[in-house]
């Protein structure tokens, strides 16, 4: 069962990456999708990241009750865990729900109303036209959102930490600026790229093969979200093991 | 000319088509009729390559469509126009974009030429000036007409229609039938229409293929259909009391 679905998924990807019929039309679609994935998710990612950064900072301060450790370490821990895990993974899980479900239901409803058949009759490579722009938008915009999320998590930590008195602003800033290893950002970007691919392609796969009607479209999009979340966590584990 | 040779198609254990053969000629409307679930749509989808038959051939002129891959089919696909049962208009696009979409994808027409072509097609289906509407803003009959306009945008040699009259009132149905008939004569298209609408059968059925449980049970013209002694066909055609009365008069 798993292997047949996975095989079908790979075959779908093979047709997605065929040469586009006409670059200009694809380009227009890519711009459109980048806007809907990127700009459309800005607000949500911003709110979540700021709050998680603030809460993490207070929590780290609460757990580090020792005079032997300098308070600046709070900033440093928040920075490294935001970059390495929280920003990429939580953003990806949230986007799997928001972006993923909208991709599956859009493609799924095109399937059940025969719009995909209409594309195929015209001789258009439907997987390419419908899915490629979404995947390309995903692998570019998710990293952008993750970078933004990291900045906001760090700023959230600054504001939340100093407002609550968990850590002074100067200690915190010393922490997030000191001892910085650029490799962690590279890890975050690789994760974001892979998650962007997983979210868009898994959702598209679930939408593309819907059979039935509106009810099945809803079920497929829920299932797509569940599967992408699991795939995100699994690839997160694998990438962390490989890269750190 | 499209030739279908001994087509078999099953979904799992469900044998939907069993050995269908037929010839569809240019400049003529051919109807595929039969009860619900008799395999009409499946036959149409096998002909255009949305389903692959398990056995048998579909020939366009004398090219074997069934054995071609996606790329090899593209030249034939460009000559196919199809009207879907629920119109299948792209709902993220306006009426005009729906019609110009295939032109944009496959032709080198300038934007102005594409819009002129869209206007021409819209006029053809009596929908001039509706360019900027979205499919959600159209009635069922208007959607079908936009579907026809989109299908004829590339001046197809082959026109397929799946239940063009379903969900329409009798008057609108006749308008759609006449439109299909005019287009067929004007462009000499090979037109294949799936229907179970008896008005269409009597009105435009130059060649009729009757399917019964996935088999070809009868073929002929609308002139001959009233005088058939095939029992299943009689039951199908003269199902309603009204048609029974009409039969007496033939
Ligand atoms: N994609 C499909 N998968 C499985 N079964 C199908 C599919 N399409 C059609 N069928 C089955 O084939 C039979 C004929 O369907 P169809 O060709 O749509 O009939 P009609 O158009 O004459 O009403 C039905 O029993 C239907 O359940
Ligand atoms: Mg049907």
CATH number, domain of B63, equals 3.40.50.300
Q: In this structure, is the dihedral angle defined by the CA atoms of residues B101, B104, B106 and B110, taken in order, positive or negative?
A: positive
Residues in A closer than 8 angstroms to B74, CB to CB, are 123
pLDDT tier for residue A1 given thresholds of 50, 70 and 90: confident
How does pLDDT run along chain B (250 residues), one tens digit per residue?
999 999 999 999 999 999 999 999 999 999 999 999 999 999 999 999 999 999 999 999 989 999 999 999 999 999 999 999 889 999 999 999 999 999 999 989 999 999 999 999 999 899 999 999 999 999 999 999 999 999 999 999 999 999 998 888 888 889 889 999 999 999 999 999 999 888 888 889 999 999 999 999 999 998 888 888 888 888 888 888 887 787 777 6
Inspect the interface and report whether the beta carbons of A21 and B105 lie closer than 8 Å.
yes
Residue B145's domain comprises 90-155
* CB-nearest partner of B82 from A21, A113, A121: A121
On whether residue A12 sits in a domain, the answer given is no
Asked if A214 has any chain B CB less than 8 Å from its own CB, the reply is: no
Rounded Cα–Cα distance for residues B227 and B205 (Å): 15
Residues in B closer than 8 angstroms to A21, CB to CB, are 105-106
On whether residue B21 sits in a domain, the answer given is no
Inspect the interface and report whether the beta carbons of A21 and B106 lie closer than 8 Å.
yes
- Give the A:B interface size as CB pairs under 8 Å: 48
Looking at the structure, do residues B32 and B43 belong to the same domain, yes or no?
yes
Rounded Cα–Cα distance for residues A8 and B103 (Å): 31
On whether residue B85 sits in a domain, the answer given is no
pLDDT of residue B250: 64
On whether residue A163 sits in a domain, the answer given is yes
Q: Give the best residue of B50, B81, B155 to mutate against chain A (max A CB count within 10 A).
A: B50
Alpha helices in B7-54 (DSSP H): 40-48
Looking at the structure, do residues B134 and B198 belong to the same domain, yes or no?
no
On whether residue A9 sits in a domain, the answer given is no
Looking at the structure, do residues B31 and B105 belong to the same domain, yes or no?
no
Tokens 């001892």 found at: A179
Looking at the structure, do residues B102 and B147 belong to the same domain, yes or no?
yes
- Round the CA-based radius of gyration of chain A to a whole number and report it: 21
- CA-nearest residue for atom 20, ligand 1, is B37
Looking at the structure, do residues B96 and B162 belong to the same domain, yes or no?
no
On whether residue B101 sits in a domain, the answer given is yes
Our count of domains for chain B comes to: 2
For the segment A46-56, the average pLDDT, to the nearest whole number, is 97
How far is the centre of ligand 1, averaged over its atoms, from the C-alpha of A212 (Å)?
A: 12
Looking at the structure, do residues B165 and B58 belong to the same domain, yes or no?
yes
On whether residue A4 sits in a domain, the answer given is no
pLDDT digits (tens, 9 = 90+) for A134-156: 999 999 999 999 999 999 999 99
On whether residue A71 sits in a domain, the answer given is yes
On whether residue A111 sits in a domain, the answer given is yes
Looking at the structure, do residues B55 and B2 belong to the same domain, yes or no?
yes
Looking at the structure, do residues B38 and B162 belong to the same domain, yes or no?
yes
Strand order in the sheet with B215-220: B80-83, B158-162, B190-194, B28-33, B207-212, B215-220
Residue A194's nearest CA partner among A89, A61, A48, A105 is A89
The two most distant CA atoms of chain B are separated, in Å, by 58
How far is the centre of ligand 2, averaged over its atoms, from the C-alpha of B47 (Å)?
A: 14
Our count of domains for chain A comes to: 1
Residues in B closer than 8 angstroms to A17, CB to CB, are none
Residue A128's nearest CA partner among B70, B45, B91, B79 is B70
On whether residue B19 sits in a domain, the answer given is no
On whether residue B243 sits in a domain, the answer given is yes
On whether residue B139 sits in a domain, the answer given is yes
Our mutation pick for probing the ligand 1 site, out of B7, B11, B84, counting the most ligand atoms within 8 A of Cβ, is B11
pLDDT of residue A68: 83
Rounded Cα–Cα distance for residues B215 and B8 (Å): 10
- Closest listed ligand to the CA of B51: 1
Angle subtended by helix axes A126-164 and A72-81, to nearest 10: 170
Rounded Cα–Cα distance for residues A199 and A193 (Å): 10
Asked if A233 has any chain B CB less than 8 Å from its own CB, the reply is: no
Looking at the structure, do residues B53 and B138 belong to the same domain, yes or no?
no
Residues in A closer than 8 angstroms to B79, CB to CB, are none
Residue A125's domain comprises 27-243
pLDDT of residue B225: 87
On whether residue A182 sits in a domain, the answer given is yes
On whether residue B16 sits in a domain, the answer given is no
Rounded Cα–Cα distance for residues B14 and A232 (Å): 39
- CA-nearest residue for atom 27, ligand 1, is B37
pLDDT of residue B100: 96
pLDDT of residue B43: 96
Does A196 score more than 70 pLDDT? yes
Looking at the structure, do residues B44 and B72 belong to the same domain, yes or no?
yes
Looking at the structure, do residues B167 and B47 belong to the same domain, yes or no?
yes
> Mapped to the 3 state alphabet, what secondary structure does A109-124 carry?
HHHHCCHHHHHHHCCC
On whether residue A38 sits in a domain, the answer given is yes
Looking at the structure, do residues B70 and B102 belong to the same domain, yes or no?
no
């Amino acid at each position: 069962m798993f292997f047949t679905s996975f095989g079908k998924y790979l075959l779908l990807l093979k047709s997605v990456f065929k040469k586009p019929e006409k670059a200009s039309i694809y380009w227009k679609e890519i711009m459109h999708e980048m806007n809907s994935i990127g700009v459309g998710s800005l607000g949500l990612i911003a709110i979540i990241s700021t709050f998680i950064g603030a809460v993490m900072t207070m929590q780290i301060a609460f757990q580090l009750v020792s005079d032997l450790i300098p308070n600046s370490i709070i900033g440093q821990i928040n920075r490294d865990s935001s970059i390495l895990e929280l920003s990429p993974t939580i953003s990806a899980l949230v986007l799997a729900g928001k972006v993923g479900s909208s991709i599956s239901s859009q493609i799924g409803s095109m399937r059940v109303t025969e719009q995909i058949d209409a594309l195929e009759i015209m001789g258009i490579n439907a997987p390419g036209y419908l899915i490629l722009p979404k995947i390309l938008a995903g692998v570019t915009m998710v990293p952008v959102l993750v970078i933004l999320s990291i900045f906001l998590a760090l700023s959230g930590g600054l504001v939340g930490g100093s407002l609550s008195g968990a850590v002074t602003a100067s200690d915190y800033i010393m922490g997030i600026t000191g001892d910085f290893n650029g490799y962690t950002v590279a890890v975050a970007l690789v994760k974001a790229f892979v998650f962007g691919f997983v979210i868009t392609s898994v959702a598209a796969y679930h939408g593309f093969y819907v059979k039935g009607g509106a009810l099945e479209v809803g079920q497929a999009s829920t299932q797509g979200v569940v599967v992408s979340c699991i795939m995100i966590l699994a690839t997160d584990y694998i990438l962390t093991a490989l890269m750190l | 000319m499209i030739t279908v040779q001994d087509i078999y198609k099953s979904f799992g254990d469900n044998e939907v088509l069993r050995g269908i053969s037929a010839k569809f000629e240019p400049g003529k409307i051919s109807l595929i009729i039969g009860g619900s679930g008799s395999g009409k749509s499946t036959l149409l989808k096998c002909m255009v390559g949305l389903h692959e038959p398990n056995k048998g051939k579909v020939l366009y002129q004398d090219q074997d469509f069934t054995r071609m891959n996606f790329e090899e089919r593209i030249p034939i696909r460009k000559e196919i126009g199809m009207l879907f049962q629920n119109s299948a208009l792209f709902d993220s696009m306006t009426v005009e974009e729906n019609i110009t979409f295939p032109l944009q994808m496959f032709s080198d027409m300038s934007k102005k030429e594409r819009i002129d072509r869209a206007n021409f097609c819209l006029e053809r289906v009596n929908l001039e000036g509706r360019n900027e509407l979205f499919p959600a803003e159209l009635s069922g009959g208007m959607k079908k007409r936009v579907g026809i306009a989109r299908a004829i945008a590339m001046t197809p040699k082959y026109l397929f229609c799946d239940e063009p009259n379903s969900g329409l009132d009798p008057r609108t149905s006749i308008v759609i039938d006449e439109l299909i008939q005019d287009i067929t004569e004007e462009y000499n298209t090979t037109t294949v229409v799936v229907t179970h609408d008896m008005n269409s059968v009597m009105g435009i059925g130059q060649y009729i293929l009757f399917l019964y449980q996935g088999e070809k049970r009868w073929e002929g013209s609308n002139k001959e259909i009233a005088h058939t002694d095939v029992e299943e066909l009689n039951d199908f055609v003269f199902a309603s009391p009204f048609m029974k009365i009409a039969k007496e008069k033939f």
